[in-house]
Structure formats: structure tokens, C-alpha cells
Amino acid sequence: RGHEFWDTQPVPKIDDKIVESGPIENKTLEDVRKEPLTLPPAFEWIELDCNKSDELKEIYTLLYENYVEDDDNMFRFDYSPEFLKWALQPPGFLKEWHIGVRVVESKKLVGFISGIPATIRVEGKPITMVEINFLCVHKKLREKRLAPVLIKEVTRRVNLRNIWQAAYTAGVVLPKPVAICKYWHRSIKQQKLVEVGFSALPPKMSMASMVKLYRINDEMKHPLRPLTKEDVPSFRALLDEYLSKYKIAPEFATDEDVWHWFETRKDVITCYVKVDETTKKVTDAFSFYNLPSTIIGNAKHNTLKAAFSFYNVATTMSLTELVGDALVAAKKMDYDVYNCLDVFENSTFFKDLKFAIGDGDLQYYLYNYSTPTKKSSEIGLVLL
């Protein structure tokens, strides 16, 4: 299938056989367009300031009404304003990469795309990149080729900062996935998932026995507790050591980075650690983020409370026991479901912890960097 826009971009063609890793094109600042891309006359570019609650709310509302839905239009992601502020303002963020498209007349926000700085190791080599996320065009303005304009504009602004690579994920297949991953789900509120129509009661099984099947303990097996600032140096060392064995993974360069991404923030991010009593060092950690979804058109339920697995490291226990305790924490925090991808070594616990495979794929992509296709288990990166 021809990709009018993507075939013009520095990404491998869908059926390319890639043998070595490296940038696809090498441009310099002279090659970068100095003025913003041209929008259709009714629209204008705008930078959104996440420190202004009204502008943060505009991003929230655009996504709440127009962001990603599953193929059956059962759910639409409902990233909260606090979550978006966390996701968009890591150390080193630039407001100029929080790009909106407004209707000149009404000032209504109808398009958005974001970039945040990140160092991503690809086969051990740290590359300064941006992570692109929250690309959204209002439902009423779809299929007018606005997305390529948003993508070219964020590319231009990133290039002007002398950054030439990006990482992004998508549910759609584009040239060219570096990995294709699967979502897996662990029911916590089984009855609600049946009522919503996500899960089905197996024939001849009562709801009561299905609920029992998915029961989760009330207490953790291990003494895990929320990460504190004092834990950060040893947690960063543990994380970087663990992530260095993956073919694509972030490098958390500073303690400030780690504190930003893993400080527990109510209704946004949860990170629990086990600390060795003698050495006072972090030996194990689980983390998950809070990403609710609107339940579209269900009489009884409006919102799905979903926990998404973030980064987990186990060294004094099995990953299965660690994530088992994450499920206990998620249950205590009233989540309906715990979701994770088959990245890292996650597929080792799906059976024992009673995960069910989802029906959507998540494709991982690199922009302007070719590298041989990776297995899901070689991916050590989670994008929000």
C-alpha cells in the first residue's frame, strides 16, 4: 500500500531487509526550514503552555474527545491533565515541542503533537532523540492530510535543536515497525469487565466462580513501599544496569530524570521498591501508570480504571512474584484492569498471573534510524 507521506520520510520501506544500524539521512542545520510549515488559511500554530491550567485543559479536552479508540470503539483513552503535565514536562522539556493547531476564528484547539527529549540506547549506543506522542486531529478534521503537517512541523522544530532521531509507538502499521508488540490484560474487577463487554463469561461458568478465578490477595508477599528521594541513586543504578541488556531502551541520565519519572504521583504514577536493609540499596521495583479510558456507550459504566505496567526490576525475587505484588497494589488502588505489553521478560509471567492476550498490536518505530527488527522481548522501552 502506498504511503504518500511516509514514503517521503527517512524511515525504512515496509519490505526493506535491514542488516546494519544507523541514521538514514544526515542533515545539518542549514538544511532545516526556518519558518513554520504552512497551514490551511483557517488555522494557526500555537504553543501550549502546560504550566497554564487553561491551556493544559485544552489539550486534555481535545484528547478526551478525539484521541485513540480501540477498533471496536469500546474505549477511548482519557489521559488526565495532571498525567499530561507529567508526561510533557520531564527535565529538559521544551514548550516549543508542545505544538497545537487552532482555528483562527474560534481559537478552538483542533490538533496537537508533542515531543519530549530522551536518550534512547539502540543496540547499546545512546542516541539523543525525542519521543513523539499525543498526535491528535479533531474528529471533524480527519483525512485532510493535517497529520503530515503536524509531523513535519515537530520534526522541523526538533531538527532546529540539532536532534535528528525520534521514537514513537502506534496502533497502526506504518513504514516501518522496529518491533510489533502485544497487549496483555489482567482482570482485577472481573464482573465490571464482563458488564462492559470486554470479557465474556465462559459458557457454563457462573459469575461467582469467574470472580473467584481472578481473586487477588489483599497483602503483598514482599516488603515493597513507595520510592523515596533517598532511594533514587541506587534505583537509577539498578535501572540503568537492567535496561542496558535490552536492544532498545531509555537511558535515565540523571537522578532528576529518575525522580521525575518514578516519584509516586497520586492518580498518575505508582512506583514501589524493596530496599536491602543492610546496604540501603534498591533491589527490586515495580511501577505502573494510571491511564483511564472513557467507556463508550455503556449504560452502567462510564470510565475504565486501567493500570499500565511501566518499568519493573526484580533481583531478589522472581518477576512473577514482583508483578504479583503490583497486582495487589493495583487492586488496593481500585483499578479495574492491569495492562502490560509483551516487552521486557513480561511474557514469562502471563500464564501464572492469569493475563489474557489483547486484540491490538502496538508497533514501535524509530525515525531516521534503521536497525534490524527486534523481538518484543528485546524492547526495554515503554512510552506513555
Ligand X SMILES: CCCCCCCCCCCCCC(=O)CSCCNC(=O)CCNC(=O)[C@H](O)C(C)(C)COP(=O)(O)OP(=O)(O)OC[C@H]1O[C@@H](n2cnc3c(N)ncnc32)[C@H](O)[C@@H]1OP(=O)(O)O
Residues in the site for ligand X, rule: CB under 6 A?
A: 3-6, 66-68, 130, 132-137, 142-148, 151, 154-155, 158-159, 163-166, 168-170, 172, 174, 367-368
Backbone angles phi, psi at 193, to 5 degrees: -65, -30
Q: Which is nearer to ligand U53, 304 or 381 (CB)?
A: 304
CB of 329 to ligand U53, least distance (A): 17
Q: Which is nearer to ligand X, 166 or 304 (CB)?
A: 166
Catalytic-role residue among 66, 75, 155, 169 = 169
Give SS3 for 339: strand
Q: Which is nearer to ligand U53, 37 or 194 (CB)?
A: 194
Among 119, 339, 373, 377, binds ligand U53 (CB under 6 A): 339
**Would you call 235 exposed, middle or buried from its count of C-beta atoms within 10 A (0-12, 13-18, 19+)?**
buried
353 is catalytic: no
Contact code string over 165-204 relative to ligand U53, x by CB under 6 A? ------x-----------x-x------------x------
135 is catalytic: yes
Catalytic-role residue among 135, 304, 319, 353 = 135
Q: Look at residue 183 and give the partner it binds from ligand U53, ligand X, none, a contact being a CB closer than 5 to 8 Å depending on partner kind.
A: ligand U53
DSSP H helical segments within 28-109, as ranges?
53-66, 81-88
Window of 18-26, 66-74, 87-95, 267-275 that interacts with ligand U53 by CB under 6 A? 66-74
**Would you call 80 exposed, middle or buried from its count of C-beta atoms within 10 A (0-12, 13-18, 19+)?**
middle
Interacting residues of 260 by C-beta distance below 8 A, sequence separation 6+:
86, 90, 91
- 10 Å Cβ neighbour count for 380? 22
Q: Which of 233, 273, 278 is nearest to 257 (CA)?
A: 233
Q: Which is nearer to ligand X, 166 or 285 (CB)?
A: 166
Give the position of cell 530524570: 257
384 is catalytic: yes
CB of 174 to ligand U53, least distance (A): 15
* Sign of the alpha-carbon torsion through 70, 71, 72, 73: positive
Q: Look at residue 75 and give the partner it binds from ligand X, ligand U53, none, a contact being a CB closer than 5 to 8 Å depending on partner kind.
A: ligand U53
CB of 68 to ligand U53, least distance (A): 4
Number of H helices, E strands in the chain: 8, 16
CA-CA-CA-CA torsion for 188, 191, 196, 201, nearest 10 degrees?
A: 110
Residues from 238 through 297 that contact ligand U53 (CB under 6 A): 293
Q: Look at residue 312 and give the partner it binds from ligand U53, ligand X, none, a contact being a CB closer than 5 to 8 Å depending on partner kind.
A: none
Give the position of cell 532521531: 165
All three cell numbers of 160, joined, read 532546529
All three cell numbers of 313, joined, read 526490576
Decide if residue 306 touches ligand U53 (CB under 6 A).
Answer: yes
Q: Which amino acid is it at 118? A: A
CB of 84 to ligand X, least distance (A): 13
Catalytic-role residue among 66, 133, 294, 368 = 133
Dist. CA 355–CA 358, nearest whole Å:
9
294 is catalytic: no
What residues make contact with ligand U53 under the rule CB under 6 A? 68-70, 75-77, 171, 183, 185, 198, 293, 304, 306, 337, 339, 358, 360
Active-site annotation, residues: 133-135, 169, 384
